[in-house]
Chains A and B, each alone.
Chain A
Amino acid sequence: MNLRRLFLIAVPYAWLGLFFLVPFLIVFKIALSDSALSIPPYTPTLDLSGGWTSIKEFFQGLDFENFVFLTEDSLYWKSYLGSLKIASISTVLTLAVGYPIAYAMAQSADEWRPTLMMLVILPFWTSFLIRVYSWVGIISNEGLLNQLLLGMGVIDTPLQIMNTPTAVYIGIVYTYLPFMILPIYSALEKMDGSLIEAGVDLGCSKLQAFWLVTLPLSRPGMIAGCFLVFIPALGEFVIPSLLGGSKTLMIGKVLWEEFFSNRDWPVASAVAVVLLLILVIPIVLFQKNQEKAEEAGR
């Protein structure tokens, strides 16, 4: 009995340890190393054959130099800030687009809901990379959008959307919209319709009833959706590199460049560790929100 419980608890911890803690420790260790022209491209590496002295040497070779370096070069903190800004703005935009869609879905007739749900999930059936890339064909200077607007005579010169933050916002909002819609929809859908009627019965206008009843009751869904967008958007790499051009500073892109272009694994690892630390805060808040929503739902 006790053994079984121990086992049940041990499984998720073992999973987390194996696939989260161990990789994190490896990355953290690399972040404390120095860059080197070798394979792997950092030093020191742990050599157990040398016995106690080599282990001691190994630990003496580790230091926080790379983290200090991150604070010295303005590129890094600017990229972190850039990522925070872009992730925040896109989260707000996704919420603004996603809420009405989720609301309309929850209001629609029962027989339509599975179809609408399907339509929201449908884009996942195509590769994310292809979908982001196809936006290039839409928003580039020679793209569909500009051709359409030029053809209709709305504009004389093509709109420069490609390689601007706007393109990144479009990409992120488009990509993460389902993550916003689904939790909001699920909150709205399980709301008892008579609550709105009760609000109206007690003197609310329709708008007031929405503001005072619907909105607060869908808040846990909204918060969940915002985190589900914000967290991956913060480390986003593909969208800014395909659509954002060289001027858009995002930490995911910097990380990629450090790793693959500069082959500076230790600095790249340090960037990753800091990014993770930044993400821990919203992830913990997200967990708190979920727990609260669960408690209120009972």
Chain B
Amino acid sequence: MAEPAQQKVFAPWEDPSEKPIIRFEGVTKRFGDFTAVDKLDLKIYRGEFFALLGPSGCGKTTLMRMLAGFETPTEGHIILDGQDVAPIPPNKRPVNMMFQSYALFPHLTVWENIAFGLKREGMEKDKIEARVSEMLRLTRLEQFAKRKPHQISGGQRQRVALARSLAKAPKLLLLDEPLGALDKKLRQETQFELMDIQEKTGTTFVIVTHDQEEAMTVASRVAVMDHGKLVQVATPAGIYETPNSVYVADFIGDVNIIEGAATPNGDQVEIAWAEGLAPIVAKSSEPIAPGAKVHFAIRPEKIYVSREPDMERANRVQGKVIDIAYLGNISTYRVRLANGQMISASMTNARRLSRRDFTWEDEVWLNWTDTAGLVLTR
């Protein structure tokens, strides 16, 4: 009778029988002749914490406003729970939005702000009371119920906005840069709070952000956007470990990019990248045409720095330490190679500072295995 002690991983996007709660089908949005969102296809699943990540102006807010109903797609369809949302006006959609500016009603108290949507539904008075109390408890705002928005702090306002948009128990909650106005420390705390609330309520969250760390922290999956297009949609680990393009690799975290010409060799690729230096050897999952121009991307922490070349690793290059950034737990070395290229490599600081191995101007070897980096063709 024992249940199999199997931890089920939340990954509905890998299950072909799972129905997405939202489907974008060839959605395009133009403002005049400017294309803000370009032929976009996307599936988001129930219970996901989905992050839209991209630089300012890439169309994240526009995408979200189409979901909320404030913009209509120029082309394509948005399917919510199996239903095309095009004919549904924003006030009838089972979707709520937390605005970038919070958009709290300044003439209403915190309590009234949270109750606003419930009253519009015509909910009974005692039910409203109960629901608002629940929301106040969830967002730890009980003492502030009677205050007006201008009488509370930025972080508290953010929580009121969240409570207000969650009060109607929407199928889908849209959060447009919800933490953008908070300072760094408060922001990190709030990220965990958001994850906690998302888990407790089971609501599907779609969050917009231009902060990659934030997206990586909170999201079940991240969509990286650029100029109205989705460049990659994957889990945070997937985005970090296997970016599909230089754009994504560069956008998420630190990365070294080395350009070169590829020569396939079995399941490996040799990349000629500098005159007189050994080619980089890397494994590639996709076939690469001989002579193709490729980018080799490698994260600083995947590079091992040593005094002597490490023969166990397939790639070894020599360089000189130009700069050391000491970050407490790790140190990042900026190393200049013989051809002038700068490479960042980070090592954990297992030893005390005074006994550190390398210092400025030291000649060092950078070593990495053939699986440490990625060969990118775009």
Please report A residues at the B interface, Cβ cutoff 8 Å. 192, 194-195, 197-205, 208, 212-213, 216-217, 219, 296, 298
Evaluate whether A217 and B107 lie within 8 angstroms (CB atoms) in the complex, with A201-B68, A205-B91 already known. Answer: yes
By the criterion CB–CB under 8 Å, are B105 and A204 in contact? no
Evaluate whether A202 and B120 lie within 8 angstroms (CB atoms) in the complex, with A296-B106, A296-B150 already known. Answer: yes
By the criterion CB–CB under 8 Å, are B106 and A217 in contact? yes
By the criterion CB–CB under 8 Å, are B91 and A204 in contact? yes
Minimum CB–CB distance for A110 against chain B, Å: 16
Among B83-129, those with CB < 8 Å from A are: 90-92, 95-97, 99-101, 103-107, 116-117, 120-121
Instruction: Tell me, in angstroms, the Cα distance from A198 to B176 when the chains sit together.
Output: 12
Contacts of A213 in B (CB 8 A): 105
Q: Knowing that A296-B150, A298-B150 are A-B contacts, what are 18 other residue pairs whose CB atoms are under 8 Å apart, sorted by A's residue number? A: A194-B100, A197-B103, A198-B104, A201-B90, A201-B96, A201-B165, A202-B120, A202-B164, A202-B165, A203-B92, A203-B117, A203-B121, A204-B91, A204-B120, A205-B91, A212-B116, A213-B105, A216-B107
Contacts of A216 in B (CB 8 A): 107
Contacts of B358 in A (CB 8 A): none
Is B168 located at the chain interface by the 8 A CB criterion? yes
Evaluate whether A198 and B106 lie within 8 angstroms (CB atoms) in the complex, with A203-B168, A204-B91, A296-B150 already known. Answer: no
CB closest chain-B residue, reference A201: B97
Instruction: Tell me, in angstroms, the Cα distance from A199 to B90 when the chains sit together.
Output: 10
- 17 A–B contacts, CB within 8 A, in A order: A192-B103, A197-B97, A197-B99, A198-B99, A198-B104, A199-B105, A201-B95, A201-B96, A201-B97, A201-B165, A202-B117, A202-B168, A203-B91, A203-B117, A203-B168, A296-B106, A298-B150
By the criterion CB–CB under 8 Å, are A202 and B116 in contact? yes
Instruction: Tell me, in angstroms, the Cα distance from A198 to B90 when the chains sit together.
Output: 10
Please report B residues at the A interface, Cβ cutoff 8 Å. 68, 70, 90-92, 95-97, 99-101, 103-107, 116-117, 120-121, 148, 150, 164-165, 168
Instruction: Tell me, in angstroms, the Cα distance from A9 to B101 when the chains sit together.
Output: 40
Instruction: Tell me, in angstroms, the Cα distance from A77 to B92 when the chains sit together.
Output: 57
- Interface centre among A202, A205, A213, by most B CB within 10 Å? A202
Contacts of A204 in B (CB 8 A): 91, 120
Contacts of A208 in B (CB 8 A): 120
Contacts of B103 in A (CB 8 A): 192, 194-195, 197-198
Minimum CB–CB distance for B362 against chain A, Å: 55
CB closest chain-A residue, reference B96: A201
Contacts of B116 in A (CB 8 A): 199, 202, 212
Contacts of B148 in A (CB 8 A): 296
Minimum CB–CB distance for A189 against chain B, Å: 15
Instruction: Tell me, in angstroms, the Cα distance from A199 to B105 when the chains sit together.
Output: 9
By the criterion CB–CB under 8 Å, are B120 and A203 in contact? yes
Contacts of B117 in A (CB 8 A): 202-203
Instruction: Tell me, in angstroms, the Cα distance from A298 to B106 when the chains sit together.
Output: 10
Instruction: Tell me, in angstroms, the Cα distance from A25 to B251 when the chains sit together.
Output: 76
CB closest chain-A residue, reference B101: A194
Minimum CB–CB distance for A90 against chain B, Å: 28
Query: Pick the contact of B70 from A195, A197, A212 — CB < 8 Å?
Result: A197
By the criterion CB–CB under 8 Å, are A192 and B101 in contact? yes
Instruction: Tell me, in angstroms, the Cα distance from A289 to B307 when the chains sit together.
Output: 76
CB closest chain-B residue, reference A213: B105
Contacts of A296 in B (CB 8 A): 106-107, 148, 150
Minimum CB–CB distance for A213 against chain B, Å: 6
- Interface centre among A197, A216, A298, by most B CB within 10 Å? A197
